[in-house]
């Protein structure tokens, strides 16, 4: 697996080196030319498109950094004016020129076509020393030297067959080093890009404030909706049954002497109503905060959820401790919603739940073998889960191609405390 990963990184670094060099030069030329034309008016029309190309190119590098090296580079861009016409173009150009991210992207293009290219091309350059060393060892050095030329293999001068053989051996060493260090050099290239493509500390703080404001509003809206749900359930369920039971008891009081048989029947009905009201109250409490979650923790609560499903469920739990209570509650209801969606909409025959804690993250993955097609923007269920997690800086990732399978992963940053007892 390690060798396969190293060769994969070598291929990716080689492709990134040359595509990055050509792409950065072309985009840089387009952007700078457009900016130079701003004073004469033409650049006012071309700059928004040039910056759109630049940002799309930078976003593609961000996506590759996450996919290939698990390096997350947040987007730093400020929103642009949306007015149409020449005035709108002028406003967008002005906003782009004032955005520090624009100039950092341009700096990144220069760095990427020099230092970035060097880091990405170095592994393949080292590997290419091997065929060159073999060519020299095969006798190519001889006519060059006899013709009065000089042959150097990096620091090694080639003057006879022995030194040519040493060049082949040294080329093999270079090739091994190139393959071995390809993953590290690829990550170094992405880290270099991150220094300029991520938000500045000021912009990062502004984005953080925007995120906190949005999640606060979502939390308030979610709490209000939860309160309305509880009020509705109490009014339509337990409260209605208790009112009916009170009326039945009043009738029993009036009939107990006149018609004892009818009174007994009404008492039996009232007892049934009280049992149903108690069941509804227990279900309501379970919907607010399940007792098993409070008493036995998230792992057992998720296992209990799985046991109530009408489908076969494989559950793997690896939690060496307990998360804070609000995070446990958010994770529990998120998993509950994902399981409900899988049962109702996926057409799955089997569901798997993985729940574990690693690298400071509480992770839960719910997968099914259904027909796929799940989309966060396609309904309120997954969107509600995403908003619930957002209050804790959690994220929701959905992989659900048409035809399936579906895998939904949630991550919430937290630390676990040792389990009691």
pLDDT digits (tens, 9 = 90+) for 303-332: 888 888 888 888 888 888 888 888 888 888
Give the range with max mean pLDDT: 121-125, 152-156, 272-276.
121-125
Helix (H, G, I), strand (E, B) or coil at 379: coil
Neighbours of 421 (CB within 10 A): 3
Give the range with max mean pLDDT: 265-269, 321-325, 390-394, 414-418.
321-325
Among the residue ranges 13-17, 23-27, 61-65, 390-394, the one predicted with the least confidence is 390-394
- Write the pLDDT tens digit of every residue in 223-240: 556 566 666 666 666 666
Residues 193 and 87 grouped into a single domain: yes
Which of 260, 288, 316 is at the close of a domain?
A: 288
Residues 262 and 402 grouped into a single domain: no
With cut-offs at 50, 70 and 90, classify the pLDDT of residue 206: low
Q: What percent of the chain has pLDDT over 70?
A: 82
In terms of pLDDT, which residue wins out, 255 or 9? 9
pLDDT score recorded for residue 150:
75
Q: What is the DSSP string of 381-410?
A: HHHHHHHHHHTTT-EEEEE--TT--EEEEE
Residues 268 and 321 grouped into a single domain: no
Sign of torsion, CA 56 58 61 63? negative
pLDDT score recorded for residue 421:
46
Check residue 114 and report its DSSP letter. I
| Mean pLDDT value across residues 147-167 | 81
Does residue 128 have a pLDDT over 50? yes
Residue-number span of the structural domain to which 71 is assigned:
2-197
- Write the pLDDT tens digit of every residue in 96-118: 888 888 899 999 999 999 999 99
Which of 197, 223, 238 is at the close of a domain?
A: 197
Residues 136 and 254 grouped into a single domain: no
Helical H segments across 198-259, by residue range: 201-233, 239-255
Residues 306 and 380 grouped into a single domain: yes
Which of 197, 225, 249 is at the close of a domain?
A: 197
Residues 159 and 141 grouped into a single domain: yes
Sign of torsion, CA 205 211 215 216? positive
Helix (H, G, I), strand (E, B) or coil at 368: strand
Sign of torsion, CA 277 223 412 55? positive
Distances (CA, A) of 349 to 24, 58, 286, 316, 373: 48, 42, 27, 18, 16
**Domains: count for the chain:** 3
In terms of pLDDT, which residue wins out, 335 or 206? 335
Neighbours of 160 (CB within 10 A): 11
Per-residue tokens: 284: 């309501």
Query: What does pTM read for this prediction?
Result: 0.57
Residues 191 and 240 grouped into a single domain: no
Number of H helices, E strands in the chain: 14, 9
Residues 66 and 164 grouped into a single domain: yes
Does residue 420 have a pLDDT over 60? no
Among the listed residues 340, 388, 339, 390, the one whose alpha carbon sits nearest the alpha carbon of residue 365: 339
The helix (H) or strand (E) run that includes residue 252 is helix 239-255
Residues 354 and 393 grouped into a single domain: yes
Give the range with max mean pLDDT: 57-66, 145-154, 251-260, 343-352.
57-66
- Write the pLDDT tens digit of every residue in 31-78: 999 999 888 888 888 888 999 999 999 999 999 998 898 888 888 887
Per-residue tokens: 129: 């020393």
> Which residues have CB under 8 Å from 29's CB, separation 6+?
none
Q: What percent of the chain has pLDDT over 90?
A: 21
Q: What does the mean pLDDT of the chain come to?
A: 81
pLDDT score recorded for residue 332:
84
Torsion of CA 322, 316, 301, 299, to 10 degrees: -10
* Secondary structure (H, E, C), 294-346: HHHCHHHHHHHHHHCCCCCEEEEEECCEECCHHHHHHHHHHHHHHHHHHHHHC
The helix (H) or strand (E) run that includes residue 358 is strand 351-358
Residues 389 and 325 grouped into a single domain: yes
CATH of the domain at 388: 3.30.565.10
Residues 369 and 251 grouped into a single domain: no
Residues 277 and 323 grouped into a single domain: no
Cα-atom radius of gyration of the chain, to the nearest Å? 33
Among the residue ranges 23-27, 84-88, 200-204, the one predicted with the least confidence is 200-204
């Amino acid at each position: 697996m390690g060798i396969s990963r190293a060769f994969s990184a070598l291929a990716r670094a080689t492709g990134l080196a040359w595509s990055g060099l050509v792409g950065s030069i072309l985009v840089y030329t387009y952007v700078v030319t457009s900016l130079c034309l701003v004073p004469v008016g033409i650049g006012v029309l071309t700059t928004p498109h040039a910056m759109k190309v630049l940002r799309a190119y930078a976003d593609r590098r961000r996506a590759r950094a996450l996919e290939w090296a698990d390096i997350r580079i947040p987007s730093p861009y400020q929103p642009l004016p949306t007015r149409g016409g020449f005035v709108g173009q002028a406003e967008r150009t002005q906003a782009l020129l004032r955005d520090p991210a624009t100039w950092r992207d341009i700096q990144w293009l220069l760095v990427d076509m020099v230092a970035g290219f060097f880091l990405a091309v170095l592994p393949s350059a080292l590997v290419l020393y091997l065929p060159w060393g073999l060519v020299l060892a095969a006798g190519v050095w001889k006519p060059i030297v006899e013709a009065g030329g000089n042959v150097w293999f990096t620091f090694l001068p080639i003057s006879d067959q022995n030194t040519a053989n040493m060049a082949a051996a040294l080329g093999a060493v270079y090739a091994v080093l190139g393959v071995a260090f390809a993953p590290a050099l690829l990550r170094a290239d992405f880290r270099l890009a991150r220094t300029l493509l991520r938000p500045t500390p000021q912009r990062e703080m502004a984005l953080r404030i925007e995120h906190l404001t949005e999640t606060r509003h979502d939390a308030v809206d979610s709490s209000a909706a939860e309160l309305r749900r509880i009020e509705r359930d109490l009014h339509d369920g337990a409260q209605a049954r208790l009112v009916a039971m009170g009326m039945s008891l009043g009738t029993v009081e009036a009939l107990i002497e006149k018609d004892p048989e009818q009174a007994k029947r009404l008492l039996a009905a009232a007892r049934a109503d009280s049992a149903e009201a108690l069941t509804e109250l227990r279900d309501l409490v379970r919907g607010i905060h399940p007792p098993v979650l409070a008493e036995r923790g998230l792992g057992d609560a998720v296992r209990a959820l799985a046991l109530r499903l009408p489908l076969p469920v494989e559950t793997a739990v690896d939690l060496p401790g307990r998360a804070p209570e609000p995070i446990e509650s958010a994770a529990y209801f998120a998993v509950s919603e994902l399981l409900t969606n899988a049962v109702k909409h996926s057409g799955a025959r089997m569901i798997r739940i993985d729940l574990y804690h690693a690298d400071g993250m509480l992770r839960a993955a719910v997968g099914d073998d259904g027909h796929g097609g799940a989309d966060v923007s396609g309904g309120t269920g997954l969107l509600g889960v995403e908003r619930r997690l957002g209050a804790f800086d959690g994220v929701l990732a959905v992989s659900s191609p048409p035809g399936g399978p579906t895998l939904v992963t949630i991550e919430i940053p937290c630390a676990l405390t040792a389990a009691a007892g």
